[in-house]
Amino acid sequence: MSEYVRPPIDPPVFRDAQVYVINYGDRWGRAGPPGESYSVTSNLERFAPLHTVAEALVDYLASTFDVTRCEGIELAGAIEHPRDDVVRAVRLAPADARAASLTFVFTSFPSVVVLAGAVQEFRFPDCGCDACDESWNTQAEEMEWQGLAVAAGNFSESIKIGRKPWVDSSRPFLTAGFRGREHTTHRADEGSRATMST
């Protein structure tokens, strides 16, 4: 099995009013973000490389694992909070019924939402506001990590059937270079959106 390789990216460069390059992901230091940076989203084009990375990840997973690739904006209907800026959605449905599908939803923000299992939803970027100061590179790394982790079988879930069905899930996470494992419990929604088989 070949290894996933991120495609070459020529990221856009943005400058502040003093013509200094804005170093997204490391702007605020210990002082933290200024109050006026909350709920402000500037230079959103900095996240455009996420679409390129997501497409490369989809292509890699589709060529490496036993999955069926489907495409259509209607596949974004499983997003927890519906969006009106969806431009594309691609689902990789594993041949193994015990495995989970991965759905990559591309938005005009630009961002990528990845759905896995019955309830898991990962947003890249998670917020995108100036205060959060997310960089495309860190977000791409986390998206690659999550997509590859689900495909490799490092995501699990169990559905508890009853009057009020619940979904227990366990997944690895990577945040700012820190790796860990998260366990969550959610009310079950209809359907199931988690490993792929080679």
pLDDT, one tens digit for every residue, the chain (198 residues): 689 999 999 999 999 999 999 999 999 999 999 999 999 999 999 999 999 999 999 999 999 999 999 999 999 998 988 899 999 999 999 998 888 889 999 999 999 999 997 778 999 999 999 999 999 999 999 999 999 999 988 877 766 677 766 554 554 555 545 556 555 555 555 444 444 555
CA 20, 22, 26, 30 torsion: positive or negative? positive
Which CA distances in Å does 140 have to 9, 52, 53, 69?
11, 10, 7, 21
Asked whether residue 14 is domain-assigned, the answer is no
Tokens of 195: 């490993």
pLDDT at 31: 92
pLDDT at 190: 42
Counting the structural domains of the chain, the total is 1
Asked whether residue 134 is domain-assigned, the answer is yes
Distance CA 84, CA 135 (A): 24
Distance CA 2, CA 20 (A): 40
Asked whether residue 114 is domain-assigned, the answer is yes
Distance CA 150, CA 174 (A): 13
Tokens of 161: 């059937």
For 176, left (φ over 0), alpha (ψ -120 to 50), or beta? left
Distance CA 141, CA 174 (A): 8
pLDDT at 193: 42
pLDDT at 158: 66
Tokens of 45: 């084009």
Strand order in the sheet with 120-124: 67-71, 86-94, 102-107, 111-116, 120-124
Q: Are 95 and 67 spatial neighbours (Cβ–Cβ below 8 Å)?
A: yes
pLDDT at 120: 86
Backbone angles phi, psi at 116, to 5 degrees: -145, 140
Asked whether residue 88 is domain-assigned, the answer is yes
Asked whether residue 43 is domain-assigned, the answer is yes
Q: Are 144 and 57 spatial neighbours (Cβ–Cβ below 8 Å)?
A: yes
Asked whether residue 194 is domain-assigned, the answer is no
Helix (H) or strand (E) holding 143: helix 136-151
Asked whether residue 140 is domain-assigned, the answer is yes
Determine the straight-line distance between the first and last CA of the chain, rounded to whole angstroms. Answer: 9
Asked whether residue 144 is domain-assigned, the answer is yes
Q: Under DSSP, is residue 118 helix (H, G, I), strand (E, B) or coil?
A: coil
Q: Which domain, by its residues, includes 84?
A: 29-187
